Structure 1
Amino acid sequence: MRYEGKIYRPWPEAESLLIQVTLGCSNNNCTFCTMFKDKTFKKRKIEEIYKDIEMARKFYRHVDSIFLVDGNVMVLKTEFLLKVVRKIKEVFPEVQNISLYSELNDLRRKTVEDLIELRQAGVTLLYAGLESGDPVVLENIKKRMSPKQALEGMKKAKAAGIDVLLSFIFGLGGRERSKEHIEATTSLLNELEPEQIAPMALAVQPESELEQEVLSGEFILPTPAQILQEEKYLLENLGDFETYYWGDHGNNIVPQKGMFQPLRKEFLTNINNEIVSNPIVHEDVHRTFAW
């Protein structure tokens, strides 16, 4: 495939064919992220995307799932996205899932009718970074999104019948705002009721703005004990809505995943055991790896 620059995809999409639709991210401003710092956001030419789709058909006899990269593909005009999705369905009629990155603000700016058209064309799942439900944390990380805007975006996705996977970051409030961060995030998730959630432990990316804040002392990293306590709070206080828990990110202290409600007690037991017995709780900083 003719990818430009570094390519990122969510870990649940490990088996998906990746089709590049945009370069970079239209926000590209979050302090903790460096994924698209090497790119200026733009959409690819539709003819080039078509060529990639047709090229992929020559190499893959059967494709179940396709993920559209780079950053928030949903920011593009609906008419353009429909052309891409319909071309995929034409060339890969067997495909069952078409998913992409989206900001909740991208959903908020679409009409419900736009989103219904995309669902009917074949879009099945959107990945969106919630990061936090705490307005202070959201402002600190330059997310350019408020909890109210997140709710508006999710409301439209639900009205259109498109599933959303929301990712968020344990420890993003730092050592000083851990409690406020996880309480507000859990509360907002209970209002949003996403179909899937993907919590991950904070990893400071090299050359990120957050790394500079850590080095200057402006941001104090959370302890491993705080990371575990945040997950414990989430598991204890998440509502009764049905969701899939993708808690198996490589930086998480306790990787665990599955349908949340049937496994809640098991997940919570695992976390409590780690809090009691894992020597990591006595360390000052949780060691993580760059994406």
Structure 2
Amino acid sequence: MIQATSGCTYNKCKFCSLYHGECFRMTPINEFEEDLAEIKSHQPHARRLFWTGANPFAMSYENLKERALTVRDYLIKCQSIAMFSSIRDIKPKSVEQLRKLRAMGINGLSIGMESGDDETLAFVNKGYTATDIVEQLAKLDEAGIEYYLVYMTGLAGKGNGQRNALNTSETLNQISPYFVENPYFLNIDSLTLFPDTELYKMAQHGEFTPADEKERLEELITLLQNLRLRTRVQADTISNFKPLTGFFPKEKKEIIGKLQHIINTSSEKEMRSYRDSLKSLGAD
């Protein structure tokens, strides 16, 4: 892992406060090289590098190129460079530029999509639409860049989970041919409100009603029932009541069965108590 940026270029999502008060900053190239030299002294044969920061892929093509090529000067066996990105960060880059970045080793974008439902995306101020998701991920597919998506249950609020799930599945089913394994992972998080977020304040003022815990699981079941992708589903972050992973569609019935079992055997009170106990989402 190496720091490429700090802060977030957007900082407007209503459910997030991770980078509030922190300006976006690219790590100066001389500092970046110093860190690479240190990595080389400990792991000269490192094959995979993760650039940290809220969304390093927001850097321009030229800045990404400079840093990707610099990696080669220090870690000659590095085969893959991964980082966080937003759908917004892909837009300014052409397919040809994306292909060149892929050739330089950038091949692993973790994208906090959160939803593929226009109403939900607008409500939480993600700054893009479902059409944008389809169009920008198609560019990554064309360029051969591997990516991983995040979906957040409960984000649409109480009573809206089914709509969110159905429209998101429709969006996701458009992004890749069934035989293409992209997104490589579909990571599942569940909305957890923290006091310093706008959505928390809205909930306190009755402007947003969080979805019940069982409703969130039912939302996820609906999403998976309607999904036509070949991917790996991972609902194993701390925001999930119980960890769950599996290959899709091979283990589709098994995954849905486990979700239904949780609904049948766990009480709403127990699951709510678990969520209320979360102080951060940084570690298990």
The two structures have a TM-score, normalised by structure 2, of 0.90
1:277 matched to 2:277:
no
More displaced 10-residue stretch of structure 1: 249-258 or 133-142: 249-258
Q: Where do 1:54-133 residues align within 5 Å?
A: 54-133=37-116
Give, in angstroms, the shift of residue 40 of structure 1.
0.6
Q: Distance in 2 between matches of 1:77 and 1:261?
A: 36
Alignment check: 8 A CA contact 2:116 2:133 kept: no
Q: Secondary structure at the match of 1:128?
A: strand
Q: Distance in 2 between matches of 1:27 and 1:139?
A: 14
Q: Secondary structure at the match of 2:192?
A: coil
Amino acid at match of 2:111: A
Q: Where do 1:39-58 residues align within 5 Å?
A: 39-58=22-41
Q: Where do 1:256-271 residues align within 5 Å?
A: 256-271=244-259
After superposition, the C-alpha distances for 1:66-95 in whole angstroms (9 at most, x for unaligned) are 111212211211121112112223312233
Alignment check: 8 A CA contact 1:254 1:271 kept: no
Give, in angstroms, the shift of residue 62 of structure 1.
4.2
After superposition, the C-alpha distances for 1:152-179 in whole angstroms (9 at most, x for unaligned) are 1111101100011110100001103222
Q: Distance in 2 between matches of 1:237 and 1:285?
A: 30
Q: Where do 1:186-265 residues align within 5 Å?
A: 186-193=169-176, 194-239=183-228, 241-265=229-253
State how many pairs are aligned.
273
Amino acid at match of 2:221: K
RMSD across aligned positions (CA): 1.8
| Percent sequence identity over aligned pairs | 27
2:163 matched residue in structure 1: 180
1:12 matched residue in structure 2: none
Q: Distance in 2 between matches of 1:277 and 1:72?
A: 39
More displaced 10-residue stretch of structure 1: 273-282 or 187-196: 273-282
Q: Distance in 2 between matches of 1:88 and 1:24?
A: 22
Amino acid at match of 2:204: L
Q: Secondary structure at the match of 2:211?
A: coil
The two structures have a TM-score, normalised by structure 1, of 0.88
More displaced 10-residue stretch of structure 1: 106-115 or 177-186: 177-186
Give, in angstroms, the shift of residue 281 of structure 1.
7.0
Query: Which 5+ residue runs of structure 2 have no aligned equivalent?
Result: 177-182
More displaced 10-residue stretch of structure 1: 57-66 or 169-178: 57-66
Alignment check: 8 A CA contact 2:65 2:104 kept: yes
Query: Which 5+ residue runs of structure 1 have no aligned equivalent?
Result: 1-17
Alignment check: 8 A CA contact 1:164 1:195 kept: yes
Q: Secondary structure at the match of 1:287?
A: helix
Amino acid at match of 2:247: M
1:6 matched residue in structure 2: none
Alignment check: 8 A CA contact 1:106 1:153 kept: no
